[in-house]
Amino acid sequence: MNIQLLGLNHKSAPIEIREKVSFAEARLDVALAALRKYEAIEEALILSTCNRTEIYVASLDCSRGLDCLWDFISRFVKMQDPETRKYFYVLNNKAAIGHLFRVASSLDSMIIGETQIFGQVKDAYFKSRQSNSLGRILDGIFQEAIRVGKKVRTQTQIGKGAISTSTAAIELARKIFETLEDKKVLIIGAGKIGELTVKNLSSRGIKTVIVANRTLVKAQEIARQFLGEAIRFEDIFDYMRSSDIVISSTSAPHFVITRDEVIKIMRARNNAPLFFIDLGLPRNIEPSVNNIENAYLYNIDDLSQVCNVNIKERLNEAKKAQQIIDHCLGGVVKKLSLECQEEEGILK
Amino acid sequence: MPSSYQFFFNLLVVIYVFSAVGYFIFFITQKTSFGLTGFVLALAGWILQAGLIAYRCLVFRSFAVSSLYESLNFFAWIIILVYLISERKRRLWTDGVFVMPLVVSLVAFAAVLNSDIRPMAAVLKSPWMAVHVTLCFLSYACFTLALVFAVMYLWQEKELKSRKVDAFFFRLPALESLDWLGYRAIVFGFIFLSLGIVSGSVWAQQAWGTFWSWDPKETWSLVTWLLYLGYLHGRLMSGWRGKKSASLAVIGFLAMLFTYLGVSFLFPGLHSYLG
């Protein structure tokens, strides 16, 4: 028995190809049934996400199995052009299992360490089991893949550390403030990224949101979303006295918040820490604000620098994850080759 | 000292070293099991050390702080006591990473000293001694913990300000909590030190007939007390926080360390452990 994989992902194929080859959930049953009809294919599973489509099968013969897979693709996906084959990768046995383990551990993802793929692998497994497309071999391998994915997540730090600017802002905020629950955020300018950051902050427990904008109507629009309060642009410095986080994303051509203003504000708030996030371009906050005690200023570049550090950390963790995978892979391959030998013995 | 005592003392040093190592591994790997190991070892060592101190008290029939050896031991023990109390609810293990190396250096210092008992002048034997010494060491321990929080604060603050966040950044508690914990430790330390100085005066009045004799230890403890008074005043009256507070906590600790050890070595006086 052979384990074979035919697939494509964000690295091998552009989105125009990926969207053609993806399987909507409603079509999975039909597709799996079609796969099972091939004589050479004993078991089948389809993993289809927005970044990848992978077809795993257990086949009696490698070359016949692959022919069936190509046939399936050309019939199901309406891609007759043999040129398109270059976007796919074909992996057999140990290489296929190793790839699956990497996928389940999120090492093969566009964003290393993201959590979604683990759930998608699980879903694909259950879907395929429901439609009776799994036999002993693929079932065992996918169960093992799910175990490996879990192990990598708990034994490495692969999912830790913010890697987008808005989550980086939250992570930094939590290094200044112990909890965000009782904190107040002031957002200046009704820009998209500012709104997104507030969205993230409020999902982490921030309760009070104050929105200031040159046109009050827009401020009210955003304030309504977060059950917050809209204020006039002129009043931002009054509100800064009682805020803890200030996010600025106006398109003003000059600094909206200056060092002198912040010095006054810090005095008025008894030096309670104040975290400024400058998302404006050109910058909204005078850079020397960062030199004032208990005031912390990060702009977009600073935030993405934090992300870069985290990405590097994740790549380090990926090495540890690979070790875990290699270890488990060795065990699985050993077990499988024993089982296959027995089976062949029975067949003979 | 009997060899069995020496054996248990050596065992104690080993336990504390392993506890510090456990905490260190926790700090690097962030695996809570190592933090827990460090904590359990610290607790075990603390119990063993309590036994050793009690043993000395019983054998020599006096409160065991008559020599530098004994005072270092007692200091280490009381630091862990205060640490255990402060960690009780937080369970973050991060403080231990900084506390345990201090404890290890105290007991290691003690290990190279003569552990024999020193007879104490009869005039000094008084229940006030235990009260005075315990209060002073409680204050020292609180100030030591405040130092740990201050160091973590300054480190984290520097990282945040420089915006060059490195891997260790994510391993320290939030600035706000470090600031608050440091403040609280100093409040307690200040209360204990005040009571320690007062109880010392009462004892001095009984033993020597005078409340205050400007002995170097007394002078320096007054300096330390004034520094922490300045810290509290700045904090409550002028809104000093964060970096300013943390820097003062470091200076206060250095003054305290000088009061504790420096004075004994440099100016032999009434309080000297060496004389």
Write out pLDDT tens, residues B109-121.
999 888 877 776 6
Domains, chain A: 2-155 (3.30.460.30), 165-306 (3.40.50.720)
Is the pLDDT at B22 greater than 90? The verdict is yes
| Contacts (Cβ under 8 Å, ≥6 apart) of A316 | none
Among A219-228, B95-104, B132-141, the least confident range: A219-228
Highest mean pLDDT (candidates A86-95, B141-150, B205-214): B141-150
Partner residue facing A176 (CB), from B163, B174, B243: B174
Q: Which residue has the higher pLDDT, B148 or B65?
A: B148
Q: Please give the average per-residue pLDDT across A6-26, as a whole number.
A: 89
| Contacts (Cβ under 8 Å, ≥6 apart) of B175 | A175, A176, A177, A273, B153, B156, B157, B160, B242
Is the pLDDT at B63 greater than 80? The verdict is no
Q: Name the pTM for this structure.
A: 0.80
Q: Please give the average per-residue pLDDT across B227-234, as a whole number.
A: 95
Among the listed residues A249, A264, A243, the one whose alpha carbon sits nearest the alpha carbon of residue A182:
A243
Side chain identity at A248, as an amino acid letter?
Answer: S
Structure tokens given for A64: 């016949």
Whether chain B has a CB inside 8 Å of the CB on A174: the answer is: yes
What confidence tier does B125 reach under pLDDT thresholds 50, 70, 90?
Answer: confident
B contacts of A171 (beta carbons < 8 Å): 170
DSSP-assigned letters across all residues of A13-71: S-HHHHHHH---HHHHHHHHHHHHHSTTEEEEEEEE-SSEEEEEEEESSHHHHHHHHHH
Is the pLDDT at B270 greater than 80? The verdict is no
Count CB atoms within 10 A of the CB of residue A64.
15
Is the pLDDT at A348 greater than 50? The verdict is no
Please tell me which residue of chain A has the smallest CA distance to B181: A178
What confidence tier does B64 reach under pLDDT thresholds 50, 70, 90?
Answer: low
Closest approach of B18 to chain A, Cα-based (Å): 23
Q: Virtual CA dihedral for A152, A155, A161, A162, nearest 10 degrees? A: 30
Is the pLDDT at B104 greater than 90? The verdict is yes
The pLDDT value given to residue A227: 86
Cβ contact B143:B253 at 8 Å: yes
Is the pLDDT at B58 greater than 90? The verdict is no
Distance of CA A10 to the CA centre of its chain: 13
CA distances from B121 to B124, B126, B198, B207, B270 (A): 6, 11, 21, 10, 11
| Residue A214 phi, psi (nearest 5) | -60, -45
What confidence tier does B268 reach under pLDDT thresholds 50, 70, 90?
Answer: low
Is the pLDDT at A160 greater than 50? The verdict is yes
What confidence tier does A340 reach under pLDDT thresholds 50, 70, 90?
Answer: low
Count CB atoms within 10 A of the CB of residue A281.
12
Is the pLDDT at B26 greater than 80? The verdict is yes
Is the pLDDT at A347 greater than 70? The verdict is no
Is the pLDDT at A261 greater than 70? The verdict is yes
Percent residues over pLDDT 70 in chain B: 93
Side chain identity at B36, as an amino acid letter?
Answer: L
Count CB atoms within 10 A of the CB of residue B9.
20
Q: Please give the average per-residue pLDDT across B199-222, as a whole number.
A: 88
Global ipTM: 0.84
User: Please, what is the average pLDDT of chain A?
Assistant: 88
User: Does the beta-carbon distance from A294 to B161 stay under 8 Å?
Assistant: no
Percent residues over pLDDT 90 in chain A: 52
A161-191: pLDDT as tens digits: 778 887 888 888 988 998 888 899 999 987 7
A270-326: pLDDT as tens digits: 999 999 999 888 899 999 999 999 999 999 888 888 888 888 888 989 999 999 999
CA distances from A179 to A226, B6, B88, B177 (A): 19, 48, 19, 9
What confidence tier does A341 reach under pLDDT thresholds 50, 70, 90?
Answer: low
B contacts of A160 (beta carbons < 8 Å): 170
Closest approach of B36 to chain A, Cα-based (Å): 17
Partner residue facing A271 (CB), from B169, B173, B239: B239
Is the pLDDT at B27 greater than 50? The verdict is yes
Cβ contact B177:A178 at 8 Å: yes
A67-95 residues labelled b (16+ CB within 10 A) or e (exposed): ebbeebbeebbebeeeebeebbbbbebee
| Residue A258 phi, psi (nearest 5) | -105, 165
CA distances from A255 to A242, A274, B233 (A): 21, 18, 36
The pLDDT value given to residue B230: 95
Instruction: List residues in chain B touching A: CB distance below 8 A.
Output: 30, 156, 160-161, 163-167, 169-170, 172-177, 239-244
> How many residues are recorded in chain A?
348
A34-49: pLDDT as tens digits: 999 999 999 999 999 8
Q: Which residues on neighbouring strands pair with residue A184, listed in sequence order?
A: A208
Is the pLDDT at B275 greater than 50? The verdict is no
Residue B263: left if φ>0, alpha if ψ -120 to 50, beta else—which one? alpha
DSSP structural state of residue A242: T
Residues of A taking part in catalysis = 50
State how beta strands A184-188 and A52-59 pair.
Answer: unpaired
What confidence tier does A346 reach under pLDDT thresholds 50, 70, 90?
Answer: very low
State how beta strands A184-188 and A41-48 pair.
Answer: unpaired
- The A2-9 sheet, strands edge to edge: A41-48, A52-59, A2-9, A89-92
- Number of H helices and number of E strands within chain A? 12, 10
B135-190: pLDDT as tens digits: 999 999 999 999 999 999 999 999 899 887 766 667 888 999 999 999 999 999 99
